[in-house]
Amino acid sequence: MALAVLVIVAVVAWVVISPLRPARAGAAEAADTAALEELEAEKAAKYREIRDAELDYRTGKLDEADWRAIDRELRAEAVLILRRIDALGAPVPDPAPDG
Amino acid sequence: MDPARKRRVRLVVALTTALLLAGALVYTSVSASTEARSPSQLLASAAPGRSYQVTGKVVDGSIRQRGAETLFRVRDRNGSASIPVAYTGAVPDPFANGREVIVQVHKSGNGFVGERDTLVTKCPSKFTAKN
Amino acid sequence: MATLGRACLILAFVIALYGVGAGLVAWRSGRRDIAASARRSVYALAGVLTVAMIILESAFLRDDFSFATVAGHSSHTTPFFYKAAAVWSSQEGSLLLWVWLLAIWSSLALFLTRKRMRDVTPVATAVLAGFAAFFAGLLVFFASPFEVLGAVPADGSGLNPLLRHPSMMIHPPMLYSGYTLFTVPFAFAIGALVTRRVDAEWITATRRFALAAWLFLGIGIILGARWSYAELGWGGYWAWDPVENASLLPWLTGTAFIHSIMIQEKRGMLKVWNVSLVLATGILAILGTFLVRSGILDSIHAFGASTLGVPFVVLIVFLLVLSIGLVAWRSSLLRSEHGIDSFLSREAAFLFNNLLFVGMAFVVFFGTFFPLITEAFGERRNVGPPWFDRIIVPLAIGLVGLAGIAPLISWRRVTRGNLRRNVAVPLGFGVLVAAVLTAVGGVAHKPWALAMFALAGFLIAGVVQEFARGARARRAMSADSWPLAMVSLVRRNRRRYGGYMVHVGIATLFVGVAASSAFQHARDVRMRPGDTAHINGYDVRYAKPLGRVVVRDGRVERIDLGSQLVVSKGGHVLRTLSPTRGYYPADAPFAPVSGMFSGEPESQVQMIAGLRRDFWTAVQPELGPLRRDMALYDKAIRVLAQRGAPVDKQVLAFRIGLQRIVDDYASGRPYSTFRLISSPLVAWIWIGGIIVFGGGLVSLWPAPDGARRRATAGYAARVARELGRA
C-alpha cells in the first residue's frame, strides 16, 4: 500500500516538475505570438463571415447588389487584418510542444 | 434623432419594459402561490377551503387504505404535532412510514383533504449529516 | 485499498493547490515553463482521481462491504450494471464523480489550448485547479468515499430501486459533464478578463467548450425526464422541481450565450453581456450542484447532508463577487465596437432570442427560490407547476417563432423583398398546419398548443427550405448529386446547418411536450379482477392478478405484485400489459415477511409506446388484506427462532411464507389502484432529443485542417490580390 502511494507521488512529481528543469526563456516571445494568434483568429472569423455572406446570397436571402456591398465591406476589413499581420513581421515558428 | 439619443431612448424603453414584466411576474407568483406550513402551524390556524402546502414526515403506522383513499398523518419534521390527511389517487413509490412528504391540502371538517397529484415524497436520503 | 483511495484524494487536494499557485505565478511572471507545470498538474490531477475512481468502482463491483459507501448503497443482489452506477448514488461518490469529470474535461481543454492564448491559460488553469481543490477538499475533510466500517456487514443496504434504470446510470455522468464543462468557459472568461484578452481567440475557444457543455447538460436533462416518465409511478417527465430547475438554469443561459457570442464575433458588440452570461452560467452550474445536496428547498431529490451547505454558499458568494468585480474592473475593455446594422438581421434575432432565454432563466430562478424569498419577507410560500407552465409556455412559443425566422434572415441586413419571398412557403406551411389541425384534429380549444404546432411547422419548413436551397447552390458550383451536395453543404457550414438541425430537434421536442400535456387523458381508478375501466376510447380490463418471488444468487431480491391488463380499442385487443410493483426488503430481523414489504417499492411501469400515442399504466396493489397473513408467518418464524431452530429452517419458513402470500394474491380478487394515462406524441420528445444531440455534434465537430485551409485559400488569394492592388 505505502509502496503504491510512493509510486504515484513519484510519477506525479515527475510529470509536474519536468517542464521546470531546463529553464526556458518564454516571456519575450509570448507577447508577439499572442498578438499574431489573435490576428489569425480574427482573420479566420472574417473569412467565415465572407463565406457566410456568400451562402446567404446563394440561398436567396440577399440580392446581388446587397451581397456585393457586404462582401466589399468584409473584404476591406479582412485586408486591414492582413496588413496588421504583415506589420508583425514573419510568423514566429512554433516551439516544440511542451505537453 | 441623433444616435446617442436613440440609444438612450431604447435603453429607457427596455428598462421600463423589464420592470413592468418583473412586476407582473411578482404579482402572478404571489397570487398563484400557496403558503407553506408545517402540521403544527396548520393545527394552530387553518382557514377552511384555503390551500396550503404542508411539509412533514409520515407518522409511523398511520397509513391506512380506505377504498381508493389513502389515509395517513403528517407530523412536524422535528416534533409530534400531526394532522390527518385523506389523499385520493395513486401514491408515489417512496411513500412510506417516516418519509418526508410535501402535499397540498385544504381543511375539510376536522381533517385535511389532499389535492390530487400534489403528493411528493422525498427520495430517502441515505445520507444524513452524521452518517 | 481504502487507504490508498484516501491517499489519492489527499494527493489530489495538494496537487490542486499547487495548480492554483503555479497558475497564478505563471500569469504574473509570464514564464511558460511554470505554465506548463501548472497545466501538467491538472493532468496529474486527472490521473490521480482516475485511480481513486477505479478503487471505488472496483470496491462496488467486488461487493467489498468494508467500504461504508458500498455497504450503504449496494448489495449482493444488485445487478452488475447497477453496481457500477451505484458509485454515484451517494453524496461522496457523486462528489468524486464531479471532481473526476472536472479534472478530465479540464485536462482536455488545457491540452487543446496548450499552444494558444498563452497569457490566458495560466489564469484559467488556476481557476480550474481552484474548483478541483474545493471539491477535493470537501472529499478529504467532509465526505470521504473511503470510510471504512469497523464491522463488515454480510450484505449491503442495496441500491434504491428507483435508481435501477439505464437512464439513471448515464444521467449523473451526463449532467455532471455538463456542469463541469461549463466551468471551463468560466475559467477562460476569468482569465480573459484578468489578462485583458477578451477577443476573437477567446470567442472561438469559449464557444466550443460552451457548446459541448450545453450538449451534455441537455442530454443529461432529457435522460432525467425519460427516467421520470418510464420509471416513476406518476407518469410525468417534468415537475418544475427545484433540482430539475437548477439544472435547467445554466442550460438556458448557456443557450443564450452560444447565440449572443456570435454577435460579438461579427459586430464586436455585447462584450459585457457575453462575459457576464458565461460567468453566470458557470456560477449557476455550481449552484445546481449545490442545490441537489443542500436541503434548503423542498424537493423530491434529497441527498441530504447539510454539512456541505455552508462551504458551497461561501464558494458561490466568492465566485459572484469575483465575477462582478472583474467585469467592473475591466469595463473599459468591454466597450462595443459597432451597433446592430438593422433590426431585420440575424444579429437582431439573436438579440431577441437572448432576451427570451435570459427572461426564461430569470422566471425559473425566481420561481425556484420563491420560497426562500418569501420566507425572508414573512411567511414561506411556494409556486407550483401551473405557475411555471403559464409563464414559460408563451416564452417557449416565442422562441420557436424566432428560431423559425432566423434561418430566413441573413447576417448584417436582409433584402426586404427577398425576405418576403423566403418567408412565404414556410409561413404558408405553418398556416396550413394550423388550419388542418383546427379543422380535422379538434385542436382549436387549446390555443397555446395550436400555436406551438403551427410555429413548429413554420420552423421545420424553413429549415427544409434552407437545406434545399443550400444544396442547390452547391450543385450549381460543383455538379454533385443531391445527396452529395447535401453532405458537402453541411460539412462546409457545420455551424449553420448543425444549428438548424438542433432547432428542428427542439421544435420536435416542444411539439411532443405540447401535445402530451394539452391532450392527455389520465385517470386513477380502483379495480379488482374482472373490472374494466374506460379512458379516451380505450377499454382496460383487469384480467388477473400477478405475483412472484424474485430470487437472485439464492437470495430473495424482491416480490413483484401486479396485474395483467388487457387493453383494447373499439373491441379489438391491442396488447396485454403487466404493470407490477416490486417490493424490496427493509432490514427487519424480527418480522422478515413484513419486512419484505416495508422497504423501497418500485413501480414497474408498462406502456404501449408508439409514435402517435403512449398508453401508460402503473399499478398500486393494496397490501392491507395481506397484512394478516404476513403477521402470521412472522409469528411462526419468531416461534421457530425462540425454539432454537436452525437458521436454514427459519429461512425455509420465510420462503414458504412469502411464496404462499404471493400465490394467494395471484389467485384471489385483490383491489388495486391503477393510474392510466393516454398521451399523444410523447415519443417525439425523445426523438427530438436525439435530433438535438446529432445537430449539436455536427455543430461542434471541428473542420479538418486541410478542408478549412482549402476553403479559405480561395478567399485568401482574392484578398491578397486586393492587398497587392492597394
Residue pair C87/C57 in contact by the 8 Å Cβ criterion: yes
Instruction: Detail the DSSP E strand segments found in C476-588.
Output: 521-527, 532-535, 538-552, 555-569, 572-577, 580-583
* All cell numbers assigned to C32: 511558460
B29-86 confidence digits (pLDDT tens): 888 888 888 888 888 888 887 888 888 888 888 888 787 788 999 888 888 888 899 9
User: What is the average pLDDT score of chain C?
Assistant: 87
B24 vs B46, C240, C361, C388, C681, CA distance in Å?
Answer: 28, 20, 16, 13, 33
Q: Provide the residue type at C270 as one letter.
A: L
Which has more pLDDT, C296 or A39?
A: A39
C716 has a pLDDT exceeding 70: no
Instruction: Please tell me what DSSP assigns to residue C144.
Output: -
* C615 closest CA partner among C701, C525, C717, C523: C523
Residues C566 and A75: their CA atoms lie apart, in Å, by 70
Cα radius of gyration (chain A): 24
* pLDDT value, residue A27: 47
C188-215 confidence digits (pLDDT tens): 999 999 988 888 888 888 888 999 999 9
pTM: 0.89
Q: Provide the residue type at A51 as one letter.
A: R
C712 has a pLDDT exceeding 90: no
User: What residues of chain C lie within 8 A of the CB of A99, using their CB?
Assistant: 36, 39-40, 43, 114
Residues C544 and C564: their CA atoms lie apart, in Å, by 5
User: What average pLDDT score do residues A42-53 get?
Assistant: 88
* pLDDT value, residue A30: 55
C450 has a pLDDT exceeding 70: yes
Instruction: Please tell me what DSSP assigns to residue C197.
Output: -
User: What average pLDDT score do residues C7-31 get?
Assistant: 93
- CB contact (8 A) between residue C601 and residue B55: no
User: What average pLDDT score do residues C2-15 get?
Assistant: 92
pLDDT band at residue C304, thresholds of 50, 70 and 90?
A: very low
Residues C664 and C130: their CA atoms lie apart, in Å, by 61
A99 has a pLDDT exceeding 50: no
Distance from CA of A20 to the nearest CA of C (A): 5
DSSP-derived 3-state class of residue C668 = coil
Query: ipTM > 0.90?
Result: no
- CB contact (8 A) between residue C305 and residue B128: yes
DSSP-derived 3-state class of residue A42 = helix
Length of chain B: 131
Residue pair C540/C567 in contact by the 8 Å Cβ criterion: yes
C60-111 confidence digits (pLDDT tens): 888 888 888 888 888 887 778 888 888 888 888 889 999 999 999 999 999 9
* All cell numbers assigned to C534: 374506460
* All cell numbers assigned to C180: 463541469
- CB contact (8 A) between residue C526 and residue B118: no
User: What residues of chain A lie within 8 A of the CB of C498, using their CB?
Assistant: none
- CB contact (8 A) between residue C383 and residue B33: yes
Within 290-349 of C, beta carbons closer than 8 Å to B belong to: 298-307, 339
* pLDDT value, residue C301: 61
Among C367, C387, C618, the residue with its CB nearest the CB of B90 is C618
- CB contact (8 A) between residue C234 and residue B34: no
Residues C354 and C361: their CA atoms lie apart, in Å, by 10
User: What is the average pLDDT score of chain B?
Assistant: 80
* pLDDT value, residue C554: 79
Which has more pLDDT, C177 or C307?
A: C177
Q: Taking the CA of residue B41 as centre, how many other CA atoms within 13 Å lie in the half-sphere pointing to its CB?
A: 13
A95 has a pLDDT exceeding 60: no
pLDDT band at residue C182, thresholds of 50, 70 and 90?
A: very high
Residues C404 and C457: their CA atoms lie apart, in Å, by 9
Among A26, A42, A94, the residue with its CB nearest the CB of C33 is A26
Q: Kindly state the percentage of chain C with pLDDT values over 90.
A: 44
Residue pair C62/B99 in contact by the 8 Å Cβ criterion: no
* pLDDT value, residue C709: 56
Within 9-68 of B, beta carbons closer than 8 Å to C belong to: 21, 25-26, 28-30, 32-36, 53, 55, 64-65, 67-68
Taking the CA atoms of residue C83, residue C87, residue C89 and residue C92 in that order, the dihedral angle to the nearest 10 degrees is: 160
Instruction: Please tell me what DSSP assigns to residue C411.
Output: S
- CB contact (8 A) between residue C118 and residue A30: yes
Name the pairing type of β-strands B51-58 and B34-37: parallel
C513-561 confidence digits (pLDDT tens): 999 999 999 988 999 999 999 999 999 999 999 999 998 877 888 899 9
pLDDT band at residue C234, thresholds of 50, 70 and 90?
A: confident
* C295 closest CA partner among C307, C279, C283: C307
Measured between CA atoms, the residue of chain C closest to residue B61 is C598
For chain B, list the contacting chains (3+ Cβ pairs, <8 Å): C
Which has more pLDDT, C458 or C383?
A: C458
* pLDDT value, residue C300: 59
* pLDDT value, residue C705: 55
Name the pairing type of β-strands B120-121 and B100-108: antiparallel
User: What residues of chain B lie within 8 A of the CB of C600, using their CB?
Assistant: 93-94, 124
Among A17, A37, A76, the residue with its CB nearest the CB of C201 is A37
User: What residues of chain A lie within 8 A of the CB of C51, using their CB?
Assistant: 8
- CB contact (8 A) between residue C73 and residue B53: no
C128 has a pLDDT exceeding 70: yes
C134 has a pLDDT exceeding 90: yes
Say which residues have a Cβ less than 8 Å from residue C520's Cβ, sequence separation at least 6. Answer: C677, C678, C679, C680
- CB contact (8 A) between residue A34 and residue C197: yes
Which has more pLDDT, C267 or C131?
A: C131
Instruction: Please tell me what DSSP assigns to residue C308.
Output: G
Residue pair C592/C630 in contact by the 8 Å Cβ criterion: no
Within 586-615 of C, beta carbons closer than 8 Å to B belong to: 598, 600-603
Among C48, C203, C470, the residue with its CB nearest the CB of A12 is C48
C6 vs A80, B129, C12, C47, C284, CA distance in Å?
Answer: 57, 20, 10, 15, 30
Place of cell 450538449: C215
Core vs surface per residue B103-121: b (16+ CB within 10 A) or e: bbbbbeeeebbbbebbbbb
A1-18 confidence digits (pLDDT tens): 788 888 888 888 888 888
User: What residues of chain A lie within 8 A of the CB of C419, using their CB?
Assistant: 61
User: What residues of chain C lie within 8 A of the CB of A60, using their CB?
Assistant: 418, 421-422, 469
User: What residues of chain C lie within 8 A of the CB of B25, using their CB?
Assistant: 362-363, 366, 391
Q: Cα–chain-centroid distance for residue C123?
A: 29
- CB contact (8 A) between residue C300 and residue B120: yes
